[in-house]
A and B are shown apart, each in its own frame.
Chain A
Amino acid sequence: MAMPAKKSVVKKPAKPKAAKPKAKSAAKAAASEPIKKLRIQDLERIRDKARSLATIRNSEGRAKVTVHMGTCGIAAGARDIMDALLDEMRKRDVNDVIVTTSGCAGFCNREPMATVEIKDQPPVKYVDLTPDKIRKILAEHVLGGQIVAKCALAVGSETLY
């Protein structure tokens, strides 16, 4: 999957702390924002807020997280992993990471599994995941650039097809 250059590959973990209530209210505000005449700086603001659009529709994220959703994965709780991941991303206001699903990775007894791919780095497979672990992986590996060694199985490729 193409992940063309974004200027900063390793970015500071976006907006720490205070993010939680703020992100939610911001999302809500965007939906029902009263229309007002824009100024130049408002264009920037709208554009920033819509950055996740570009990430998803251009398929250009700085990282991609694949949650394995085969029958085995789902049985082992992959849905919870997905929910936790998306929840954490919303909380942290992460808008340039692609999240996708794939079928069984062929290693069913270590499910739930996920693969993290960061641009220009080999993919890393994580096994025996729990919601807390995926939150940690998002924070430390995807955003921080540090592989969470104790959850990692191996460094290897995983594609959609």
Chain B
Amino acid sequence: MKQHRTHLLVCAGTGCVSCGSFKIKEALEQEVLKRNLQDEVLVIATGCNGFCERGPILLVQPDGVFYQKLTVEDIPRLVEEHLLKGRPVKKLMYVPPAKKEPIPKMKDIEFFKHQRLIVLRNRGRIDPEKIEEYIGFDGYEAMAKALTKMTPEEIVAEITASGLRGRGGAGFPTGKKWEACRREKATPKYLICNGDEGDPGAFMDRSVLEADPHAVLEGMIIGAKAIGAAKGFIYIRNEYPLALQRMEIAIGQARAYGLLGDDILGTGFDFDLEIVQGAGAFVSGEESALMASVEGRIAMPRQRPPYPAQKGLWGKPTTINNVETWATVPNIIRRGAEWFAGLGTATSKGTKIFSLVGKINNTGLVEVPMGISLKDIVYGIGGGIPNGREFKAVQIGGPSGGCIPRKLLDLPVDYESLTEAGAMMGSGGMIVMDDKTCMVDVAKYFMNFLRDESCGKCVSCREGTQRMWEILKDITEGKGKESDLDLLEELAQTCKDASMCGLGQTAANPVLSTLRHFRHEYEAHITDKRCPAGVCKALIRYLVIAEKCTGCLSCKNACPTQAIKGTRADIHSIDQSKCIKCGACLEACHFDAIETRRDEAIQII
């Protein structure tokens, strides 16, 4: 391996790629060549760095300097100043919200400072398409240990002792799951990696698959030895093309190196893997539905028990874990159960990856020890709410989860506390909402999602989600009735009690948790016909604030229906009969002179 003094690590996760990071990489390579630095400086595309908001991202190592929001035009100067003259370019560094001074080093940036990277240890550090780099950072060491020095019983015991719980949603102890499958006599046994990350707002699995695919493979090989499986499947949703591509490359390399296939590392152990591509169905994330999908059938869940450990894929014992869980396994085997169990809380061990998105300054992917408070995540790592607005709630756990209000900000993030508060860990999506987010609208959003994604097997879920959605829709349109809230609660309870799989059983959570913590917002919609957040179209109208309007014509030009009147330097006004409430004027105004009024006087639709 040729030595270079400096490595330029360009983030090539989906987020940065869509901001043009491959063009940045190309420009860097050209500039390095132009300056004759190609023997000293190496340009590498890494997986997702996590701070997606700031893409395209470049990390210069060993200096540790973090550049963000790069454009191709920035590159010549960056190369000359930093790489040639040793003067990092301040203009391209990250400046925290409401601060003036840039922070040069990645490790000093709040977003990164409080994270504890275990599963994401290789993110932004290795080229995910080069197996040598993964091996260079202790990759496949745990696998070698498991295959040569440990019995299946010892592997399972180690995982059990670590306290690892499934990272995909319910938090079932991984060791227990493995043990049940290991004890089964029937053969063949199968292994599945659930990469059908369906929760909207969660993308840690995508990131792991893109940034460190070999970690998932290594975890699965260890798992295969533990339960005695010879064949595994990695199910990846088709909405993640880059993840599919990187995993394919990884499997190809692992096979070529003899880390998959027959006689792995010469230990006599055989195991091989196949990628199965999803076809777009949220319910396929449910384990029995996922197995049906792997078999090529409709992803419809079935009654459990029997659990997959007894009767799984093609009726054979099967262990199924999600991407993050598999990627955690090598770390536990390499560093020991005790080390892992030393992180986190009494019942929730280790770290968890959260995707911090929505109305928050530092959006991206964060890995933190379990038990950290919500406040530390939202304000410490996330840097608070943009535009000086007020934090209202954080939605955790996707469509199965719930909204946690401001007063519970000190809540420690672990499986039990979240469930207690009416949310759930789920896969770890955290969507931050501010005072401009309407909670009834959020509930309606999730119900719309669920009624669409319900597979239709159970009446309670198929019809329940539909009816709940209709009621919520009525409420947001100002047609809600006093009795609706009771009806919602009853429907929610039925859906929970009578549905067979996790989707139906938790479908009511978004409604129940918003009802529990934000009942007053429902009441405002129903009684006062008013949307306090100014979101629900039927209950608001767009108005020009005369004192702020400068008559710049921006809104008038943006309006698609010519509803805005006024000439240059003249205060504009909106013709309500023509306004379609599309929000284009609000977006176009540079002076905050457009507001959404929500007083109860409005009856016009």
Contacts and interface: CB of A to CB of B under 8 A. Distances in A.
Interface of A: 1-2, 27, 30-31, 35-40, 43, 46-47, 49-59, 61, 64, 66-71, 74, 82, 86, 89-90, 95, 98-103, 160-161
19 contacts: A27-B2, A35-B256, A40-B144, A43-B265, A47-B135, A47-B138, A50-B132, A53-B1, A53-B126, A53-B137, A61-B62, A67-B86, A68-B86, A98-B5, A100-B6, A101-B84, A103-B86, A160-B63, A160-B86
Given A39-B266, A47-B135, A86-B40, A100 B87 contact: no
A51 B88 CA distance: 26
Given A51-B136, A52-B1, A58-B125, 8 more contacts: A2-B107, A35-B256, A40-B144, A50-B133, A53-B1, A53-B137, A56-B4, A89-B3
Given A56-B6, A103-B85, A40 B265 contact: yes
Contacts of B258: 36-38
Contact of A100 (B3, B5, B140, B265): B5
Given A46-B132, A56-B62, A90-B3, A37 B40 contact: no
A114 B10 CA distance: 28
Interface centre among A2, A37, A51, A103 (most CB of B within 10 A): A37
B141 interface: yes
A129 B106 CA distance: 32
Main secondary structure of the interface of B (DSSP, over half): loop
B63 to A, nearest CB: 6
Given A90-B3, A160-B63, A57 B125 contact: yes
Interface of B: 1-7, 9, 39-40, 61-65, 83-88, 104, 107, 125-126, 132-133, 135-138, 140-141, 144, 148, 256-259, 263, 265-267
A100 B266 contact: no
Contacts of A101: 83-86
Contacts of B86: 66-70, 100-103, 160
Contact of A59 (B1, B63, B87): B63
Contacts of B87: 102-103
A160 B88 contact: yes
Given A38-B257, A40-B148, A40-B266, A86 B88 contact: no
Most chain B C-beta atoms within 10 Å of own C-beta, residue among A30, A53, A86, A160: A53
B137 A54 contact: yes
Contacts of B132: 46, 49-50
Contact of B88 (A1, A71, A99, A161): A161
A59 B64 CA distance: 7
Nearest to A70: B85
Given A66-B86, A86-B39, A47 B136 contact: yes
Contacts of A38: 257-259, 265
A147 B3 CA distance: 25
Given A35-B256, A103-B87, A160-B86, A30 B1 contact: yes
B63 A100 contact: yes
A70 B65 CA distance: 19
Q: Which of B1, B107, B138, B258 has the most CB of A within 10 A?
A: B1
A47 B144 CA distance: 13
B85 A74 contact: yes
B141 A100 contact: no
Nearest to B144: A40
The 10 closest A-B pairs by CB, nearest first: A50-B136, A37-B258, A101-B86, A102-B86, A99-B5, A59-B62, A98-B62, A103-B87, A35-B256, A46-B135
Nearest to A35: B256
B105 to A, nearest CB: 9
Contacts of B133: 50, 53
Most buried by B among A1, A50, A98: A50
Given A46-B136, A47-B138, A50-B133, A57 B7 contact: yes
Q: Which of B84, B138, B148 has the most CB of A within 10 A?
A: B84
